[in-house]
Amino acid sequence: MQLCKRQVWICYKHVLNEVKAALCQFLFCLDFHVILKASTDLLIKQLLNHIKTYHHLTDEAQAALRECFEEKILGKTEYLVTAGKICKHLYFLERGALRGFYNLDGKDITHWFGFENDFVTSFHSFITGEPSVENIQLLEGSVLWGITKESLNRLLNLHNDLEKLLRIAYEKYYIRLEERYVNAQFKAAAERYQNLLEQTPHIIERVPLGHIASYLGISAETLSRIRSRF
Amino acid sequence: MQLCKRQVWICYKHVLNEVKAALCQFLFCLDFHVILKASTDLLIKQLLNHIKTYHHLTDEAQAALRECFEEKILGKTEYLVTAGKICKHLYFLERGALRGFYNLDGKDITHWFGFENDFVTSFHSFITGEPSVENIQLLEGSVLWGITKESLNRLLNLHNDLEKLLRIAYEKYYIRLEERYVNAQFKAAAERYQNLLEQTPHIIERVPLGHIASYLGISAETLSRIRSRF
DNA sequence: TTCGTTTTTTGATGAATGTCAAAAACTTAA
DNA sequence: TTAAGTTTTTGACATTCATCAAAAAACGAA
């Protein structure tokens, strides 16, 4: 777990995604932590499109968001959030995959995954301002957009429709978590794996078995056996 | 499970809680479903005091809430919400206790408990407008305050501080659920019982063992054995 | 490609927990 | 208070799953 990396900030305008990705890949190899800062007239299209599915925002609120979100590109296995530190950002995952995990008796326990169009953060730390108990680690090279808690709070006081948007987002995330909770606690391991296969096959396709086993609350050996007998 | 009961609406002003409780008790015996309608200048004090811990409301917003919440008093074993029906109310539990449960393969699975100062509803049904999959049943005679989704939405559009309050409430409920999730899935049965003993002893004191076992995801027999060896 | 490392699979064993059944304790209503 | 019903406890046994160890497969860097 590398807590201290060399950082590069790159400001850009009208750069192709492919070029951007290649550049980042190159810098990852040199062990740099890359933070791309897009011109404000660019991008966040996907973010704005996504939140439209929650609630419609005024043009002013959209412009304000554009100002405050900062692009961040991280490579596979890098950490977005590390346990013990206060997490001051809320991130939108534009492209890629990551996992939230914490350490229990020396073992890593993965308790959630994030994919395209998810809002991710250590919610506990972000909301309470206490140090995070969980780590967030990249499973693939990913493109994220981050906003600080201060910026977000400022915007929430300026734009009422943003407050409503966030409330609706929390509602959605709440019932999603509730569903996950019921699945996790009250169904057998094999059934939970079946559910995963049917409802979120992308998890199985993109995440190594070990993490999935941990996520399902079973040992990797047991999951391997379940999988072998379909 | 009685879906259709005789109802009494009682409008009152300046009635002692003891008298109210005695009256309700009497009516429960006669198998009435009691709905008390307080004069708007009375009560909801506890509710308003409680939500102050989340966010301060303007006097106008407080007055608006007073108008919209309706008192509801139910007896032990009665149902607040039944599976299959759309739950259109959000409730504040002033006094009493209840459980949320659903049916899985013919067995009742209790997945949460509610106590004093909790907001309760079938969140999935309330938020999505779909029929509830869970039942909410009273564990003790309880005093609740309910608001309809329509009223709430109307108030949210009128009072921005209410929107903020609700967002903050969702945040709290979200991280509370997340904690419960991690506890549930990744700790052993005995440890979960220990946690319950330490963190929420009121659950153990006020809820029958069978429901607690179900809540912990273990059989009543196993819980009985865990308990016998402390 | 090849070597070394990590991940996944397979097998043997033991611990934890579920299930069924019956007894004991507790509740409730008449 | 009793009698009926419900909940909790106890015992015997079966099942599920974790653990440890070792082999096989997949992955990654040189």
Q: Which residues of B touch A124 (CB under 8 A)?
A: 175, 178-179
- Each residue of B22-35: pLDDT tens digit? 666 665 555 555 55
Ramachandran angles phi, psi of A161, nearest 5°? -70, -25
Q: Which residues of A touch B178 (CB under 8 A)?
A: 123-124, 177
Residues 101-160 of A with CB under 7 A from strand D: none
Q: Which residue is listed with tokens 């996907």? A: A46
Q: Which two tokens stand for residue B214?
A: 């179900």
Task: Using CB atoms, pick whichever of A164, A174, A217 lies closest to residue B174.
Answer: A174
Q: What is the DSSP string of chain A?
A: -----EEEEEEESS--HHHHHHHHHHHHHTTEEEEEEE-TTS--HHHHHHHHTT----HHHHHHHHHH-EEEEE-TT-EEE-TTSB--EEEEEEE--EEEEEEETTEEEEEEEE-TTEEES-HHHHHH-SBPSSEEEESS-EEEEEEEHHHHHHHHHH-HHHHHHHHHHHHHHHHHHHHHHHHHHHS-HHHHHHHHHHH-HHHHHHS-HHHHHHHHTS-HHHHHHHHHT-
Distance between CA atoms of residues B190 and B214, nearest Å = 14
Mark yes or no for CB contact A164/B156 under 8 Å: yes
Confidence of residue B40 (pLDDT cuts 50, 70, 90): very low
Residue B45 has pLDDT above 50, yes or no: yes
CA atom of A212 to C1′ atom of D28, Å: 22
Interface check for A175 against chain B (CB to CB < 8 A): the answer is yes
**Can you give the pLDDT at residue A107?**
84
Task: Using CB atoms, pick whichever of B160, B182, B217 lies closest to residue A160.
Answer: B160
- Each residue of B129-164: pLDDT tens digit? 999 999 999 998 888 999 999 999 999 999 999 999
Distance between CA atoms of residues B133 and B50, nearest Å = 29
Q: Which two tokens stand for residue B106?
A: 């013919």
Q: Which of B134, B182, B183 to mutate to probe the A interface, most A CBs <10 Å? A: B182
Mark yes or no for CB contact A180/B181 under 8 Å: yes
More confident residue, A169 or B75: A169
Residue A104 has pLDDT above 90, yes or no: no
Helix axis angle for B149-158 and B59-68, nearest 10°, is 170
Q: Which two tokens stand for residue B43?
A: 């009560």
Q: What is the DSSP string of B129-143?
A: -SBPSSEEEESS-EE
* Percentage of chain A lying above the pLDDT 70 cut: 81
Interface check for B181 against chain A (CB to CB < 8 A): the answer is yes
* Percentage of chain A lying above the pLDDT 90 cut: 57
Three-state secondary-structure class, residue B85 = coil
Q: Which of residues 10-39 of A touch B (CB under 8 A)?
A: none
Interface check for A167 against chain B (CB to CB < 8 A): the answer is yes
Contacts of A135 (CB under 8 A, 6+ apart): A1, A79, A81, A82, A83, A100, A101, A102
- The residue-averaged pLDDT of A174-182 equals 93
**Can you give the pLDDT at residue B189?**
82
**Can you give the pLDDT at residue B76?**
83
Mark yes or no for CB contact A127/B171 under 8 Å: yes
Mark yes or no for CB contact A217/B186 under 8 Å: yes
**Can you give the pLDDT at residue A1?**
25
- The residue-averaged pLDDT of A1-8 equals 38
The answer to whether B131 CB sits below 7 Å from nucleic acid chain D is no
Residue B108 has pLDDT above 80, yes or no: yes
- The residue-averaged pLDDT of B113-128 equals 96
- The residue-averaged pLDDT of A97-123 equals 92
Residue A101 has pLDDT above 80, yes or no: yes
- The residue-averaged pLDDT of B196-200 equals 90
Q: Which residues of B touch A111 (CB under 8 A)?
A: 181-182, 185-186
Residues 145-204 of B with CB under 7 A from strand C: 188-190
Confidence of residue A111 (pLDDT cuts 50, 70, 90): very high
Q: Which of residues 35-94 of A touch B (CB under 8 A)?
A: none
Residue A205 has pLDDT above 70, yes or no: yes
CA atom of A109 to C1′ atom of C20, Å: 35
Task: Give the global pTM.
Answer: 0.84
CA atom of A49 to C1′ atom of D7, Å: 55
Task: Using CB atoms, pick whichever of A102, A174, A184 lies closest to residue B184.
Answer: A184
- The residue-averaged pLDDT of A158-172 equals 96
Q: Among all strands, which nt has the closest C1' to A229 (CA)?
A: C9
Write out which nucleotides of chain C lie closer than 7 A to a protein Cβ. Answer: 7-12, 16-21
* Percentage of chain B lying above the pLDDT 70 cut: 81
Residue environment code for B59-92, b if the CB has 16+ CB neighbours within 10 A, otherwise e: eebbebbbebbbbbbbbeebbbbbbeeebbbbbb
- Each residue of A7-62: pLDDT tens digit? 455 555 445 455 565 666 665 555 555 555 554 445 578 899 999 999 999 999 99
Interface check for A170 against chain B (CB to CB < 8 A): the answer is yes
Mean pLDDT, rounded, of chain A:
84
Distance between CA atoms of residues A141 and B14, nearest Å = 65
Q: B168 CA to chain A: closest CA distance, Å?
A: 8
